[in-house]
Amino acid sequence: MKISLIKKPGAWIPIVLSFIMLIVLGMYLTGVLPPDPTGDEGLGAHLFQIWLVLEALMILFFAVKWFSKSPKQAFLILITQIALVLAVCAPVFYFNW
């Protein structure tokens, strides 16, 4: 019996973290979380930077571990993870352009 890869923490944790970052980003864009008045990058920028590094490492770990064992399932999950990373990064790069 073949187990679904999405049940593995290496598959679903990056997806959940991306959704959390989308929520945080949405809160900043809608004004629920105001920018830092002192001119510092603020909590949102620091969270984004830490998330981006962790996300890249987790996706790389997942790809190395599972792509050779179950390429079809791993490919679909990798596409989902990468698409969510791009969805979070797009507004950040757009507004900082």
This prediction has a pTM of 0.86
Q: What is the 3-state secondary structure (H, E, C) of 66-82?
A: HCCCCHHHHHHHHHHHH
Would you state the pLDDT for residue 37? 76
pLDDT of res. 1: 46
If one counts every other C-beta atom within 10 angstroms of the C-beta of residue 8, the result is 17
Q: Along the chain (97 residues), what's the average pLDDT of each consecutive run of 10 residues?
A: 82 95 89 78 84 96 93 95 95 82
Closest by Cα among 58, 62, 87 to 74: 62
Residue entry with tokens 């105001």? 34
* Number of residues written out for the chain: 97
pLDDT at site 97:
66
Q: Phi, psi at residue 54, to the nearest 5°? A: -60, -40
Q: What pLDDT, on the 0 to 100 scale, is given for residue 46?
A: 86
